[in-house]
């Protein structure tokens, strides 16, 4: 496999559920990101990891919890989400922190009931 | 100051036409301006990018025009094809920063 792979592609969950989104990159990159994409809004950067350390957290509610066990894998743990959290969640990677471009996965479409 | 304003929100052209998408920014510290293309069900993919030391960059049918004094940049698609139908996002970032500031996107439809 090449590129950035996200699983699952679709997820429907209730507000009290706990689930996790997974991202894996096969590009040998050292920086990984989570973005939220909502209709008619700009992509919102949520978290940035560089060499498995979190370097940015853009005022994201604590019901979203990221985890980066190694430079190839990134998780987003979800707990007690709200209906407004329904969106496309995109993972991206880049060669190193401070470098462009960023390579995106195809996202996980999340629906909160 | 961190915003990138993109227009139009949607655009419909005939095959062979030249759609133009415009973006404007305020922060003069921005020095990297990429355009991303996103097809339905797919993530954004880098299309073309420019830095402010040049006023124009071409890659195939895609051209970025950059006006530093006006703080504007635009994407032109020459000889547009139905396969170009997608949502296009402009973005900007500052040197050494991973943070990309995105526009809201333009949905382009190219009719056969």
Write down the pLDDT at residue A1.
53
Q: How far is CA A12 from CA A38, B43, B106, in A?
A: 16, 19, 28
Read off the tokens for A58. 């853009």
pLDDT tens digits, one per residue of B1-17: 678 999 999 999 999 99
Write down the pLDDT at residue A2.
64
Residues in Cβ contact with B53 at an 8 Å cutoff, skipping those fewer than 6 apart:
none
Contact B43 A105 (CB under 8 A): yes
- Determine the Cα–Cα distance for residues B47 and B93; give it in Å rounded to an integer: 16
- C-alpha atoms less than 13 angstroms from C-alpha of A93 in its C-beta half-sphere: 25
**Is the CB of residue A57 less than 8 Å from the CB of residue A44?**
no
- C-alpha atoms less than 13 angstroms from C-alpha of B32 in its C-beta half-sphere: 16
Min Cα distance B48 → chain A (Å) is 10
Contact B49 A99 (CB under 8 A): no
Contact A4 B44 (CB under 8 A): no
Give me the residue from B9, B43, B96 closest to A104, CB to CB: B43
- Determine the Cα–Cα distance for residues A23 and A104; give it in Å rounded to an integer: 10
Could you tell me what percent of chain B has a pLDDT over 70? 96
Give me the residue from B42, B93, B103 closest to A100, CB to CB: B93
CA A6 to chain centre: 9
**Residue A58 pLDDT greater than 90, yes or no:** no
A-to-B residue pairs, Cβ atoms closer than 8 angstroms: 57
**Is the CB of residue B11 less than 8 Å from the CB of residue B21?**
yes
pLDDT tens digits, one per residue of B34-68: 999 999 989 999 999 999 889 999 999 999 999 99
B109 — pLDDT class (breaks 50, 70, 90): very high
Contact A101 B103 (CB under 8 A): no
**Residue A34 pLDDT greater than 80, yes or no:** yes
Give me the residue from B4, B42, B96 closest to A106, CB to CB: B42
Contact B46 A101 (CB under 8 A): yes
């Amino acid at each position: 496999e090449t590129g950035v792979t996200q699983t699952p592609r679709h997820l429907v969950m209730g507000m009290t559920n706990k689930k996790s989104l997974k991202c894996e990159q096969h590009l040998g990159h050292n920086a990984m990101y989570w973005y939220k994409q909502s209709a008619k809004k700009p992509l919102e950067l949520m978290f940035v990891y560089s060499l498995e350390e979190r370097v940015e957290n853009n005022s994201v509610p604590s019901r979203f919890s990221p985890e980066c066990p190694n430079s190839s894998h990134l998780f987003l743990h979800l707990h007690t989400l709200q209906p407004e959290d329904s969106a496309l969640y995109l993972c991206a990677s880049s060669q190193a922190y401070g470098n462009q471009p960023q390579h995106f996965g195809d996202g996980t479409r999340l629906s909160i009931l | 100051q961190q915003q990138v304003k993109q227009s139009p929100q949607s655009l419909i052209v005939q095959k062979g036409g030249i759609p133009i998408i415009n973006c404007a920014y305020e922060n003069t510290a921005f020095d990297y301006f990429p355009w991303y293309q996103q097809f339905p069900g797919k993530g954004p993919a880098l299309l073309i990018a420019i830095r402010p030391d040049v006023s124009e960059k071409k890659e195939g049918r895609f051209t970025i025009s950059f006006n530093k004094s006006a703080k504007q940049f635009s994407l032109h698609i020459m000889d547009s094809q139905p396969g170009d139908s997608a949502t296009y996002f402009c973005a900007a970032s500052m040197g050494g920063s991973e943070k990309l500031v995105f526009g809201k996107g333009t949905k382009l439809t190219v009719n056969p």
